[in-house]
């Protein structure tokens, strides 16, 4: 048995990360990581794990990874998880590690809150997202790592979140819910070729990270799973998300960077993010969301070739007074939308405050946002751009957008405290965004021939 396992682990050998050159065609900008095989591999079975779906394997995972730490300076190592149902609570990854889930392997999150440690809030949030104070540690964690890979042959990470959703909905949580994967302060991180199911809250949360590549994963929680979110790049840079299918209760992909005074003083932006070739669905949130926690700033984001469907909202920019920070240099292009209630929105009155110490005069900036090459069918509200009187949204640039509704009347636009311009947009946008040849339109369309590279 042990030999068979060793053989299987050898066959499944993956993959140290190496960083290559800059951007190219048909590939992610900002990130070009290639994987090289790890020279060592062990199976979780060698640490006494039992894949019966009932035995708690937290210690087996912790011991295996402790053992694999010693290979960090020898090219790194792989932890191989064979077919089976592997129940566990939190464990930490280590640098130069590949966690590989074989086809038929499922890591199951424990449903017993006493198995879950409480950890301090993130410094850029100052408190748990859902409740003041600490929060449950995530299922799979990384702290100050480099070169970590979570991958497999379509293995599954299943958070068994139903109990957490029920506690959340009945207000019986004592701390904010855990995420499935949280990687903090790390670089060269790959998550690929896996299925994520039933996250208690977020699925994948890279925070204070750089060089993160999330590729070819499928993420789903039921439509009624409250505030479950797919991927959350948070105060991180050089992030690529591609070839993914995400269908969740709330936001599919949400970009964030900290909360009010905590995020302002931590001061770590999310920047250089490329999202491409993804299929996104969000039953009560937005398929692509910016904020509302954006106090460290969000900039240089490119989203292209995405399908957004059967959702409440397509692309949403959220902020509020007290956030400070900015969202700027964002280009969203080549979008197909279907059965989306509200295609685009930008709101300056969205989101709560962590406590009453926020500075109401910390005004957020929303500037230089390009939305282009969009076809939407069965859209009810085309766009709702509601800015902040003291800090209006500027340079909202719309180009080549066609949105149709199912009812007889066309999709509608709503605007206030916003400026920008548009060309080839149907139905006609609100007057604030209509002027095509004015000074403000040149901010949109003159600096480059097609506006596309303006955001990069």
Q: Quick count: other Cβ atoms within 10 Å of Cβ 446?
A: 11
Among 110, 124, 151, 331, binds ligand NAG (CB under 6 A): 151
- Stretches 122-130, 264-272, 322-330, 410-418: which one binds ligand NAG (CB under 6 A)? 410-418
Cβ nearer to ligand NAG, comparing 55 with 378: 378
How many whole angstroms separate alpha carbon 265 and alpha carbon 257? 11
Cα separation of the two ends of the chain: 53
Q: Which two tokens stand for residue 441?
A: 């339109």
CB of 2 to ligand NAG, least distance (A): 25
Residue nearest ligand NAG, CB atom distance: 24
Contact call for residue 341 and ligand NAG (CB under 6 A): yes
1-40: contacts with ligand NAG (CB under 6 A): 20-24, 27, 32, 34-35
Contact call for residue 416 and ligand NAG (CB under 6 A): yes
- Stretches 68-76, 225-233, 262-270, 413-421: which one binds ligand NAG (CB under 6 A)? 413-421
Cβ nearer to ligand NAG, comparing 200 with 258: 200
Handedness of CA 423, 425, 427, 429 (dihedral sign): negative
- Binding characters for ligand NAG, 342-381, by CB under 6 A (x = yes): -----x-xx----------------------x-x--x-xx
75-134: contacts with ligand NAG (CB under 6 A): 92, 113
Among 156, 210, 257, 391, binds ligand NAG (CB under 6 A): 156
State the residues that interact with ligand NAG by CB under 6 A: 20-24, 27, 32, 34-35, 62, 92, 113, 141, 143, 151, 153-154, 156, 167, 172-174, 190, 192-193, 195, 215-216, 243, 334, 339, 341, 347, 349-350, 373, 375, 378, 380-381, 384, 386, 389, 400, 406, 414, 416-417
């Amino acid at each position: 048995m042990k030999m068979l396992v060793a053989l299987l682990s050898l066959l499944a050998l993956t993959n140290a990360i190496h960083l290559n050159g800059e951007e190219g065609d048909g590939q992610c900008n900002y990130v070009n990581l290639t994987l090289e095989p790890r020279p060592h591999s062990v199976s979780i079975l060698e640490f006494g794990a039992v894949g019966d779906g009932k035995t708690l394997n937290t210690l087996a995972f912790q011991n295996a990874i402790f053992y694999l730490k010693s290979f960090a300076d020898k090219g790194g190592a792989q932890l191989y998880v064979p077919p089976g149902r592997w129940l566990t609570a939190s464990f930490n990854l280590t640098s130069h590690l590949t966690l590989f889930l074989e086809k038929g392997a499922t890591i199951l999150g424990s449903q017993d809150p006493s198995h879950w440690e409480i950890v301090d809030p993130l410094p850029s949030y100052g408190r748990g997202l859902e409740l003041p104070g600490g929060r449950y540690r995530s299922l799979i964690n990384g702290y100050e790592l480099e070169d970590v890979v979570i991958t497999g042959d379509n293995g599954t990470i299943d958070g068994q979140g139903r109990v957490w959703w029920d506690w959340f909905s009945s207000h019986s949580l004592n701390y904010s819910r855990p995420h499935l994967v949280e990687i903090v302060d790390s670089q060269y991180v790959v998550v690929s070729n896996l299925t994520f199911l039933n996250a208690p809250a977020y699925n994948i949360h890279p925070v204070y990270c750089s060089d993160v590549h999330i590729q070819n994963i499928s993420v789903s929680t039921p439509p009624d799973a409250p505030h479950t979110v797919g991927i959350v790049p948070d105060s991180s840079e050089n992030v690529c998300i591609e070839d993914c299918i995400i269908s969740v209760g709330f936001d599919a992909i949400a970009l964030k960077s900290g909360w009010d005074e905590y995020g302002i003083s931590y001061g770590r932006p999310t920047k250089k993010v490329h999202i491409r070739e993804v299929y996104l669905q969000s039953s009560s949130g937005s398929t692509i969301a910016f904020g509302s926690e954006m106090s460290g700033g969000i900039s240089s984001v490119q989203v292209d070739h995405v399908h957004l469907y059967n959702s409440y909202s397509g692309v949403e920019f959220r902020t509020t007074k007290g956030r400070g920070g900015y969202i700027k240099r964002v280009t969203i292009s080549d979008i197909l939308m279907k059965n989306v209630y509200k295609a685009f929105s930008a709101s300056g009155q969205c989101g709560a405050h962590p406590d009453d110490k926020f500075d109401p005069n910390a005004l957020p900036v929303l500037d230089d946002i390009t939305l282009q090459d969009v076809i939407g069918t069965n859209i009810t509200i085309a766009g709702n751009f509601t800015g902040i009187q003291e800090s209006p949204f500027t340079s909202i640039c719309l180009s080549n957008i066609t949105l149709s509704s199912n009812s007889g009347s066309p999709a509608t636009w709503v605007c206030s405290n916003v400026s920008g311009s548009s060309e080839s947009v149907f139905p006609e946008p609100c007057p604030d965004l209509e002027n095509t040849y004015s000074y403000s339109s040149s901010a949109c369309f003159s600096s480059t021939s097609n506006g596309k590279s303006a955001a990069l």
